[in-house]
Amino acid sequence: MIPYGRQDITQDDIDAVVDILTSDFLTQGPAVPAFEARLCDVTGSKYASAVNSATSALHISCLALGLGQGDRLWTVPNSFVASANCGIYCGAMVDFVDIDPVTLNISATALEIKLEQAAKVGKLPKILVVVHFGGEPCDLAKIHELSGKYGFRIIEDASHAVGASYKGEPVGNCSYSDVTIFSFHPVKIVTSGEGGAVLTNCSELDQELKLLRSHGITRDPNLMQNSNNAVWYYEQIKLGFNYRMTDIHAALGTSQLSRLSEYISKRHEFAEFYDRELSGSNIQLPFRNANHISALHLYVIQVDEEKRHTIFTGLREKGIGVNLHYIPIHTQPYYQAMGFRWGDYPNAEMYSKCAISLPMYATLQKEQQHFVVESLKLLCDD
């Protein structure tokens, strides 16, 4: 089977993990701060908080930004459900903004129209979660401009975009957002096994995030309500969670980050091959903005809706593990029970009926890519 994505584990990665396994700390040791420092080096952000998943990162980011009962979170329907669920976790109401049919990211035009309408009826969002779909950066400058006008906070869900650049700057530097979320799941650009991170340039947010990821407990005398100089003393000052990343995961993540540029370069090489071999066909190829650098977590094509099932199953039968990213969130039964319906976000819906994610990962072999392309062309021509 040729999967749509997979991890690349080297001897350096194994050695890094073994070093932790034979050290004094498997968790809550020095490896997590070292990983966080490396993330700051890579992105240019001031602070990073490593956690056990990007879902956890989204949750505590919403909490740290003050999202709660009666508030509103907006995101896109074309994402994994975690981009919306994080609002539900906080007791907020969730709504969606349709995607641009070309970029497959949030439509800045649709967002502006929806914000204008929401302002008239007093239903503006407190938080907007923008998703860099497939690793292609959103129109962050326009979205940031709108946030200044309408007063919402911005979370970049960059789970697909570790290693991407926007206007010559790394995604994750938070120049246009309050926080940025990364994912280190095995199919992502780099992996820590399971894990995520929140990046920010705000020291107060970083402090809040680090409290929330570890039960709301602190040993910092400046944050405690009672004065006690005993070295064993700690206080729980708010309700937090056990969202910590272990040193084992952090060591793997740090080792993987050393190859980030190599991974991005390989993905672009593979994408250029797909572009070249599939151009001129009746397949819609993915958009890439020449002014930015996509992380190319995904290479998603769009085919004729009537033929998608045949092509998809045909590729699977040939051992090519294509996938679908994504079934629109608002069409899931849980969200349909809230009142969302098919037809609410036509661009995301039309895309989802035609999309196929082709294999894209660092260790993909040329002969495998040739097999994917040849198989796809045969199925499309049938």
Give the burial class of 8: count Cβ atoms within 10 A of its Cβ; 0-12 exposed, 13-18 middle, 19 or more buried: middle
Handedness of CA 216, 40, 259, 360 (dihedral sign): positive
Assess whether 198 and 309 both reside in one domain: no
pLDDT tens for each residue of 356-371: 999 999 999 999 999 9
CA 344, chain centre distance (Å): 24
| Among the listed residues 297, 303, 270, 288, the one whose alpha carbon sits nearest the alpha carbon of residue 372 | 270
Number of domains into which the chain is organized: 2
| Averaged pLDDT, 311-336 | 98
| Amino acid (1-letter code) at residue 100 | D
Q: Show which of 257, 275, 300 is a domain's final residue.
A: 257
Token pair, residue 347, equals 């661009």
What one-character-per-residue DSSP string does 183-229 give? E--TTSSS--SS-EEEEES-HHHHHHHHHHTBTTEE--TTT-SS---
Whether 325 has a pLDDT exceeding 80, the answer reads: yes
pLDDT of residue 227: 77
Residues 336 and 227 both lie in one domain:
no
Cα–Cα distances in Å, from 175 out to 22, 132, 144, 161, 361? Answer: 39, 15, 9, 15, 28
Q: Write down which residue in 222, 240, 257 finishes a domain.
A: 257
Per residue in 96-109, pLDDT tens? 999 999 999 999 99
pLDDT for res 280: 84
* Token representation of residue 308: 């998608």
214 with 288, same domain: the answer is no
What is residue 76's three-state secondary structure? coil
What are the DSSP calls for 116-170, one per residue? HHHHHHT---SEEEEE-GGG----HHHHHHHHHHH--EEEEE-TT-TT-EETTEE
Tens of pLDDT, residue by residue over 310-322, are 999 999 999 999 9
pLDDT, averaged across the chain: 97
Selection from 114, 115, 168 nearest residue 140 by Cα = 168
Same domain membership, residue 266 and residue 305: yes
**Cross-strand partners of 301:** 356
Residues 238 and 122 in one domain: yes
Amino acid identity at 45: S
- CA–CA distance, 226 with 191 (Å, rounded to integer): 41
Q: 345 and 305, same structural domain? A: yes
220 and 342 both lie in a single domain:
no
Among 201, 233, 257, identify where a domain stops. Answer: 257
Residues in the chain: 382
d(CA 105, CA 281): 24
Q: Is the pLDDT of residue 192 over 90?
A: yes
* Domain shared by 194 and 276, yes or no: no
**Above 80 in pLDDT, residue 187?**
yes
Q: In sequence order, what E strands does the chain have? A: 2-3, 47-51, 72-75, 93-96, 127-131, 153-157, 165-166, 169-170, 179-183, 196-200, 217-218, 235-236, 299-302, 320-321, 355-358
pLDDT tens, 28-50? 999 999 999 999 999 999 999 99
Same domain flag for 280 and 135 = no
CATH number of 300's domain: 3.90.1150.10
Q: Are residues 250 and 269 in the same domain?
A: no
Q: Indicate the DSSP class of residue 25.
A: -
| Domain containing residue 192: CATH number | 3.40.640.10
> What domain range includes position 10?
2-257
Q: What's the whole-model pTM score?
A: 0.97
180 and 199: one domain? yes
- Could you tell me if 304 and 236 lie in one domain? no
